[in-house]
Structure 1
Amino acid sequence: MLGKTYDSQVCSIARSLELVGERWSLLIIRDALFAGVTRFSDFQHNLGIATNVLTSRLESFVASGIMDRRGAAEYVLTPKGHALAVALIALTEWGDEWASPIDPPILYRHAVCDGEVHAVAACETCGTVPAGEIGIRIGPGMPPEYLAARRGGSRATA
């Protein structure tokens, strides 16, 4: 079972969860990205989140470079925060298909031409690929000691 931190995980998903994996985190970022919310009081009002929890989340976003604090109570996304848009769109589309009993309540549109926006897995050679055709390979950031432990019979998760 995973604890509150994922230090032992050699995985970018685990590292991402360290920054945005708490239950309120992606909802705060969602409101900042797609509703333009920047003020502490507006986050609190829209989400109904306890002020101490909201304070903690916003402070952690500032510390990790996802948001910048402006003035006493305004928080704006940095480029690092804006880069989470595709991940949120992917989660929305997954939720629309697998977790919602109704039609999608939100549709993402390109602000310039009003075309539909989707999160897709794309191969640099073939274009869009189905999830069942996605595999993995060890990347350059994999620590050699982790690979050695796997070769020795360890079943640690990559």
Structure 2
Amino acid sequence: MAGRIRQEDRECPLSRTVEHVGEWWTLLLLHDLFDGYTRFDQFQENLGISSSMLTARLKTLVADGILERRPYQTNPVRHEYVLTELGRSLRPVIVAMAAWGNSRLAPHERSMILVDAETGEEVEPVVVDAGTGRRLDDSRAYVFTSGPAAGPEMRARYPR
């Protein structure tokens, strides 16, 4: 049945994450927020997004606890959008996605690079295991397994 969400998908942390931040405009909004943008007009001007789409995306991010909406002006009332702790925790994801995109380009084709703020040297972000420091890009060394809350479908997909 089209549009039906499988139980396995409701349990999957990747599916739940994509549900919250996987929409194209949402990722671009997060990028702008990490660059210091906080106001509706800034987002709209920078992204060229329609006001109705921007309003919907911002409302969803606030409802999901990723952003906080705060007044910055009283007459007339104007609001800004500020990343919550949960929202700030998405920065490594956005950085990793941008780095992945850059890795597919020749150095002279890159319009944006990540650098060390102190030295100005370009850096290569990688995802590592916090305990060992080992890179997680080896699909043979690291695999998913079912967790304690997994239902039958998830346990069948990821047996221990």
1:14 maps to which residue?
A: 15
RMSD of aligned residue pairs (Cα, Å) = 2.9
2:112 pairs with 1:106: yes
Describe the SS at the equivalent of 2:24.
Answer: coil
2: CA distance, partners of 1:44 / 1:103: 26
Alpha-carbon offset, residue 43 of structure 1: 0.3
Contact 1:28 1:43 in 2 (8 A): yes
Q: What SS class does the counterpart of residue 73 from structure 1 fall into?
A: strand
- When residues 6 and 107 of structure 1 are mapped into structure 2, their CA distance, relative to the original with a 3 A threshold, is farther
Counterpart of 1:22, as a letter, is E
Within 2, Cα distance between the matches of 1:138 and 1:78? 30
Task: Tell me which of 124, 139, 146 is aligned to 2:153.
Answer: 146
Partner of 1:41: 41
1:75 aligns with 2:81: yes
How much does 1:103 deviate?
2.7
The gaps in structure 1 that reach 5 residues or longer are: none
Kindly, what percent of the aligned residue pairs are identical? 32
Q: Distance in 2 between matches of 1:4 and 1:37?
A: 36
Contact 2:66 2:83 in 1 (8 A): yes
Aligned length, in residue pairs: 149
Aligned residues of 2:33 and 2:82 also touching (Cα < 8 A):
yes
Distance 1:3 1:117, change over 3 A: farther
CA distance in 1, matches of 2:26, 2:5: 15
Which one-letter code corresponds to 2:117 in the other structure? Answer: A
After superposition, what is the alpha-carbon deviation per residue over 1:14-40, rounded to whole angstroms, capped at 9, x for unaligned? 111111111100000100102x10000
Q: Distance in 2 between matches of 1:78 and 1:41?
A: 20
Distance 1:29 1:6 in 2: 28
Which position in structure 1 is the counterpart of 2:124? 118
**Cα distance change, pair 4–57 in 1 and its aligned pair in 2 (3 A):** farther
Q: Report the counterpart of residue 136 of structure 1 in structure 2.
A: 143
TM-score after normalising by structure 2: 0.77
